[in-house]
């Protein structure tokens, strides 16, 4: 999944563009509760992408701010989805998470 995403993204950038270098990608899928969900429903997120979720955790600074790192964004997005599903009640879920550097 992540490899397909990378190949598609590379087709859309100029060969001299460095935006796809040194980027963390994260393929992820959140399954709330005991739902059975196919891993084919996973999504890919790259560092620097807009998060489009409320920040639920505080990021650290190691060489640069980590708030835009893919793995940090995914954890925040997962927390946001669990809160949307559960409202004010506790919800359990599984976060399938695979991180790689380009």
The 10s digit of each residue's pLDDT in 11-69 is 777 766 656 566 788 888 988 777 777 777 888 888 877 777 777 887 777 777 777 88
Q: What angle do CA 55, 97, 32 make, to 5 degrees?
A: 70
8 Å CB contact between 60 and 66: yes
Would the pTM of this model clear 0.75, i.e. be above it? no
């Amino acid at each position: 999944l992540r490899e397909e995403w990378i190949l598609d993204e590379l087709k859309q950038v100029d060969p001299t563009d460095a935006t796809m270098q040194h980027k963390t990608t994260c393929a992820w899928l959140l399954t709330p509760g005991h739902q059975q969900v196919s891993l084919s429903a996973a999504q890919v997120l790259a560092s620097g992408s807009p998060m489009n979720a409320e920040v639920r955790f505080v990021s650290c600074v190691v060489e640069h701010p980590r708030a835009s790192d893919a793995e940090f964004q995914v954890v925040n997005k997962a927390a946001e989805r669990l809160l949307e599903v559960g409202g004010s009640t506790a919800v359990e879920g599984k976060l399938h998470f695979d991180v790689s550097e380009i």
